Structure 1
């Protein structure tokens, strides 16, 4: 009995020693520090985050503004199929959006010539009202407030259908995208900043790469390459070879340029239906 009791005490003491050593390593911020109760949840959490990213990405793609003909705009206005609309003269599409933003439509004063609208299925469309076949001008609207006859024709249809009060900004993300972005940002930044030290790159490396890379693609790269809390992810002596912050900044900028070129090529090859790019 005494021997068994002594063995139990030795095992318990060894476990306490290992626990103290584990806590010491974690407090020092060593990459790959074991946290058995936590890292087991990482595969499930990573899968959930990927699915959430896919939901936000697909919603953003579905609601991205797509160019339509002038007659389609007038037909939707006349039929009352417009749930919201906005006038403008240029798209803010100078650079890829961060995360799940959509290009914004800006106006310099007069209403038009660009007209954007949303239909009941949640999709957004836009047209250039300077490109029309014919339009009949009446005195039902203030003609001087609009950029030209095409814009006046659309405005007349909006008034006739009782849709004038539905004017508003269309570039704001949908609630699904807003909440998905907040959850992804909170969890990802929280893990990078306050979690165990990353294995493959420093905290600054992942912070810059996640923040700068468009469409949240930096998140996907982080989830695929990094393994927080995994005891087997770090080979011996790997600590000093982690990717540094300046590399993350450079890769983020390079990714922005390359993604812009790829999207432009896809837009040219596939058209606005599959690769919408307002303003190009």
Structure 2
């Protein structure tokens, strides 16, 4: 049977709309990933801290004694645990990147340049007003990540029933770190949503199991890549 031209055009338009949505989401995810990667704190040493001070590459700085643990599933930039007597200094640069280094406590007799409280160059850097480029970029990444996560949840709840798994299954899968679960849902349920499932739909319990296993695998993979490629390429989020 020959399909009428107008039906063919309608089917082609529907297929185009199905393809446009996942492509748009992937583009947004790539933008988020680039922003989050760029603004992630990277380890440095005291020498780099001193060089950035003298080259006027310190926009903001603060002392801390470590990092807060509430990073979140979308790899939000970790927050320093601010402490005036902390042995770590965290600073942002004009290019929007963040560095941190261990320089010793303020009363530890550390060399010139390592104590921002006593260093006039650091005092000048720390007195600058406005929002640092690193904070603006990290804020944009946070908003984009929240919009992607919320948008995915709305589509999951209000959209047509998923093909490969129940809504609870995809809810747990979508909770995988760094948006990996969202990409898996996008590929199976949107890019290949017209392909029937080979078996019964997976349940929420299966999704929870894959979340626990996938979280461990992703954490180990990121840690391994960090050891192999270095902190700059794979920041320790």
Query: Do they fold alike, i.e. is TM over 0.5?
Result: yes
**1:250: how far off?**
1.6
User: Runs in 1 of length 4+ with deviation above 4 angstroms?
Assistant: 35-40, 158-161, 166-173
Please say if residues 56 and 100 of structure 1, whose CA atoms lie closer than 8 Å, have aligned partners that are also in contact.
no
Query: 2:212 maps to what in 1?
Result: 253
2:108 paired with 1:148 = yes
2:22 paired with 1:49 = no
TM-score of the superposed pair, with normalisation by structure 1: 0.69
**1:267: how far off?**
1.5
1:125-204 equivalent positions in 2, closer than 5 A: 125-130=99-104, 146=106, 148-150=108-110, 153-157=115-119, 162-165=124-127, 174-204=138-168
| Alignment coverage as a number of residue pairs | 223
Report which of the two structures shows the higher radius of gyration computed on alpha carbons: 1
Listed as ranges, the gaps of 5+ residues in structure 2 are 1-10
Q: 1:227 aligns with which of 190, 207, 210?
A: 190
Query: 2:174 maps to what in 1?
Result: 210
**1:274: how far off?**
1.1
Please say if residues 61 and 125 of structure 2, whose CA atoms lie closer than 8 Å, have aligned partners that are also in contact.
no
Listed as ranges, the gaps of 5+ residues in structure 1 are 1-34, 131-144
**1:182: how far off?**
2.8
SS in 2 for 1:234: coil
In structure 1, C-alpha distance between the alignment counterparts of 2:40 and 2:55, rounded to whole Å? 22
What is the Cα-based RMSD across aligned positions, in Å?
A: 3.1
Check 1:158–1:263 CA distance in 2 against 1; reply closer, same or farther (3 A cut): farther
Quick one: higher RCO (CA 8 Å, sep 6+), 1 or 2? 1
In structure 2, C-alpha distance between the alignment counterparts of 1:104 and 1:204, rounded to whole Å? 31
